């Protein structure tokens, strides 16, 4: 199945009920199987600029790269092509934002989180920096497939804090990695196999800080027939619970397989298409 038909994608973003402007940005391009969500930070409108650069630069650059690459391509050291591409694009966004923040004083210190997914050949490469998340609903199991780069997550990992206690912490919103604040950034990237029926959710912390995972899961399961309604309902829930932050979601439902064509004939045909 063509990837554009295999993936059903919706997105929605909202400033929340407390903040005057929205520093989150979302973008997707079904034709190249790419989804990107970024949660910016920095004074004035610098946060929007940082997240905006990220969600415009990554898809533009990705489309360009995919024209000359194939899913079975490998990077140096045999790395998966999705890993290589996502790392490259995030580094490029990082350099662009960092340069802007260094050269224009009103943008000093701006940065952004990012979570990006690239679907290709029945696989999904997920890259993230900071505390924006990707979750997966597969059958009855709903779980995060990214782990926050945050002080709280580090404390949880060290056994200092339980997941339940983390909700009581006053040290929220402290992230340990961000795009655009240093000359270099290390994105965490993993490749997952994708199954038909999976639903993936990308969200900014405005959702998972306001709505517990279990309620997100229930909403996804009950309303899965209508992805747009799920997106609207998740944002509604975050806002009904206080909406203290901007809240953004991207939902992807896998409606079919999207294996890359294999064999010499398929390659010839795709070569002629280009």
**Which residues in this chain contact other proteins in the complex, by CB under 8 A?**
18-19, 39, 41, 111, 113, 130-131, 140-147, 149-151, 153-155, 157, 160-161, 163, 165, 167-178, 181, 186, 188, 190, 205, 209-215, 217-219, 221-223, 225-226, 228-229, 233, 236-237, 240-245
Nearest residue (CB) to other proteins, 147 versus 267: 147
What are the CB-based long-range contacts (under 8 Å, 24+) for 230-234? Answer: 230/10, 231/10, 231/11, 231/12, 232/12, 234/201, 234/203, 234/207
With respect to other proteins, which residue has the nearer C-beta, 5 or 218?
218
| Between 3 and 13, CB nearer to other proteins | 13
Min dist. Cβ of residue 65 to other proteins (A)? 23
Distance CA 117, CA 36 (A): 7
Q: What are phi and psi for residue 95, nearest 5 degrees?
A: -65, -40
Q: What is the CA radius of gyration of the chain?
A: 19
User: Please, what is the minimum distance in Å from the beta carbon of residue 23 to other proteins?
Assistant: 9
CB nearer to other proteins: pick between 63 and 228: 228
Q: Which residues pair with 137 in a beta bridge?
A: 142, 199
CB of 272 to other proteins, least distance (A): 40
User: Least separation, in Å, of the C-beta of 201 and other proteins?
Assistant: 13
C-alpha to C-alpha distance for 207 and 23, rounded to whole angstroms: 14
Least CB distance from residue 171 to other proteins, whole Å? 5
Q: Which is nearer to other proteins, 191 or 260 (CB)?
A: 191
- 3-state secondary structure (DSSP) of residue 83: helix
CB of 55 to other proteins, least distance (A): 17
In the bound state with other proteins, the residue whose beta carbon lies nearer, of 2 and 182, is 182
Helix (H) or strand (E) holding 57: helix 46-66
CA distances from 130 to 16, 68, 123, 203, 258 (A): 20, 30, 23, 12, 29
Tokens 């009950």 correspond to: 222
| Euclidean distance between CA atoms 162 and 167, whole angstroms | 9
Give residues with Cβ within 8 angstroms of 222, minimum separation 6: none
3-state secondary structure (DSSP) of residue 123: strand
Q: How far is the CB of 68 from other proteins (least distance, A)?
A: 28
- Is residue 113 within 8 Å of 39, Cβ to Cβ? yes
CB nearer to other proteins: give 59 or 111.
Answer: 111
């Amino acid at each position: 199945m063509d990837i554009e038909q295999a993936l059903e994608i919706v997105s929605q973003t909202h400033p929340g009920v407390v903040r005057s402007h929205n520093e989150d940005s979302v973008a997707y391009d079904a034709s190249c199987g790419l989804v990107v969500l970024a949660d910016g930070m920095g004074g004035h409108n610098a946060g929007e600029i940082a997240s905006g650069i990220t969600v415009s630069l990554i898809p533009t650059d990705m489309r360009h790269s995919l024209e000359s690459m194939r899913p079975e391509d490998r990077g140096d050291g045999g790395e998966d092509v999705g890993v290589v591409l996502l790392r490259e694009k995030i580094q490029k966004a990082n350099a662009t934002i960092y340069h802007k923040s260094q050269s224009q004083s009103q943008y000093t210190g701006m940065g952004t989180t990012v979570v990006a997914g690239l679907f290709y050949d029945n696989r999904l490469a997920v890259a993230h920096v900071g505390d924006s998340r990707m979750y997966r609903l597969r059958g009855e199991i709903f779980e995060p497939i990214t782990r926050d780069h945050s002080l709280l997550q580090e404390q949880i990992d060290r056994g200092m804090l339980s997941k339940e206690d983390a909700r009581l912490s006053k040290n929220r919103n402290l992230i340990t990695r961000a795009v655009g604040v240093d000359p270099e950034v290390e994105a965490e990237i993993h490749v997952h196999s994708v199954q038909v029926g999976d639903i993936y959710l990308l969200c900014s912390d405005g959702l998972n800080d306001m709505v517990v995972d279990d309620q997100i899961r229930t909403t996804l399961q009950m309303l899965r027939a209508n992805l747009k309604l799920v997106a609207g309902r998740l944002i509604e829930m975050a806002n009904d619970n206080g909406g203290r932050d901007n809240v953004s979601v991207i939902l992807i439902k896998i409606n079919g397989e999207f294996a890359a064509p294999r064999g010499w004939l398929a390659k010839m045909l795709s070569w002629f298409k280009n």
